[in-house]
Amino acid sequence: ESRVFSGVQPTGNLHLGNYLGAIKRFAGLQETHNCIYCVVDMHAITVWQDPADLQAAIREVASAYIAAGIDPKSSVIFNQSQVSGHAELAWVFNCVARMGWLNRMTQFKEKAGKNRENVSTGLFVYPNLMAADILLYKATHVPVGEDQKQHLELTRDIAAKFNNDYGERISALGLGDADGYFPLTEPVISGPATRVMSLRDGTKKMSKSDPSDLARINLTDDADTIAKKIRKAKTDTEPLPGEEDGLKERPDAANLVGIYAALAETTAADVLKTHAGAQFSTFKPELADLAVSKLAPIADEMRRLKADPGYIEGVLADGADRADAIARPVLQGVKDIVGFLSTR
Ligand code: AQP
């Protein structure tokens, strides 16, 4: 049986990269899979979050999920901290993962920078919690952006080490299948926008924490703001090429073409076929119209949901109950396997 799990951090400034790389694809997987979509608030506090802002951001990510087409009746939408199994399994994984594995994580190196002595220990073990998020539901597929690939590989390493270290015990208890107790989860990184780049610098990822608001399109931006940001997006002076090869040394142009393709649900090759030779003075307004037509309805729905926090909180409460029901037996199995004594 296949199960999809993924999450987004409630850390403000949800942007087009989060949408095209993750949330939009979450919605698309519902037709064919059982899906669990989490607002990962425990991940958020690995760096300082103002408590009131954090609560607002949790509601906002949940509303973005729903506005983007995730149906809270068929999929499970909840926030991580309401299901205690995430923290419990993460502790076990802190004892499975090796220091050397975590030392190699590029996201930690980037986020810690030169400040290693002074970042939270949570930031260092972040990938262990992420592995716990996924494996608590024995998820088989995880849709994410390209930047999460290394963390997904670590998740597989943790699953494989757990399956191997406890192999005999897993068999003796009759708790394993072909892989062992945990599946070896597959990342799902696909489509033309797995890594949306900054609108100000095509070599840098579009990110929530970029100090320049012009670098990203926020999901809550209005039509004028979206158009302005695309108009101001960095480009070169060449017209668009007819084929993808022509974009190789042109990261800013490649980024806008990728965004167009993802919004139009086609491929970059196709966009170039229809826009070969176009100048940015004509391509940008077309891209802006397309972006507004796709994003404005999402922003409208997010605004509507913001006015109804009771509804969002009801969705999160129901989702937490459903997630917990799936997680409990998986966690109990882990406790039995590692030898924790359960007496009640
Ligand atoms: N630029 C991006 N292109 C494609 N996908 C992206 N994702 C993030 N940025 C891009 C994907 O969005 C999902 C949720 O991300 P997250 O909330 O867990 O955090 P993040 O990756 O830390 O987001 P940011 O914007 O990159 O934050 P900062 O500025 O803190 O570094 C993930 O599936 C991610 O791949």
The closest-lying atom of ligand 1 relative to the alpha carbon of residue 6 is: 33
Phi first, then psi, for residue 210 (nearest 5°) are -60, 125
- What is the 137 CA–ligand 1 centroid distance (Å)? 22
DSSP for 130-165? Answer: HHHHHHTTT-SEEE--GGGHHHHHHHHHHHHHHHHH
The verdict on whether residue 308 carries a ligand-binding annotation is no
Helix 51-67 to helix 280-306 angle (10° resolution) is 110
Q: How far is Cα 92 from Cα 139, in angstroms, rounded to an integer?
A: 18
Collapsed DSSP state (helix, strand, coil) of residue 317: helix
Q: Is 111 a catalytic residue?
A: yes
Domain boundaries, the chain: 3-188+309-338, 213-305
Per-residue pLDDT of the chain (344 residues; tens, 9 = 90+): 799 999 999 999 999 999 999 999 999 999 999 999 999 999 999 999 999 999 999 999 999 999 999 999 999 999 999 999 999 999 999 999 999 999 999 999 999 999 899 999 999 999 999 999 999 999 999 999 999 999 999 999 999 999 999 999 999 999 999 889 999 999 999 999 999 999 999 999 999 999 999 999 999 999 999 999 999 999 999 999 999 999 999 999 999 999 999 999 999 999 999 999 999 999 999 999 999 999 999 999 999 999 999 999 999 999 999 999 999 999 999 999 999 999 98
- Structurally, at CATH architecture level, domain 3-188+309-338 sits in 3-Layer(aba) Sandwich (3.40)
Let me know if the fold of 3-188+309-338 is the same as that of 213-305: no
Identify whether 24 is a catalytic site residue.
Answer: no
Distance, CA of 193 to CA of 215 (rounded, Å): 16
Residue the block writes with tokens 């949408």: 19
Distance between Cα 335 and ligand 1 center (Å) = 32
Angstrom distance (rounded) from CA 339 to CA 328: 17
- Taking the C-alpha atoms of residue 16 and residue 255, their distance in angstroms, rounded to an integer, is 12
pTM: 0.96
Q: Which two tokens stand for residue 321?
A: 């109950």
Q: What residues flank ligand 1, with Cβ below 6 Å? A: 8-9, 11, 17-18, 21-22, 144-145, 147-148, 194-196, 205-209
Residue nearest to atom 34 of ligand 1 (CA): 145
Distance (Å, rounded) from C-alpha 195 to C-alpha 173? 43
205 is in an annotated binding site: yes
Q: Tell the CATH topology of 213-305.
A: Tyrosyl-Transfer RNA Synthetase (1.10.240)
Q: Per the annotation, does 80 bind a ligand?
A: no
The 10 Å CB-count burial string (b at 16+, else e) for 184-204 is ebebbbebbbbbbbbbbbbee
**b/e code 64-73 from CB counts within 10 Å (16+ = b):** bbbbbebebe
| CA neighbor of 75 nearest in space, from 28, 134, 140, 14 | 28
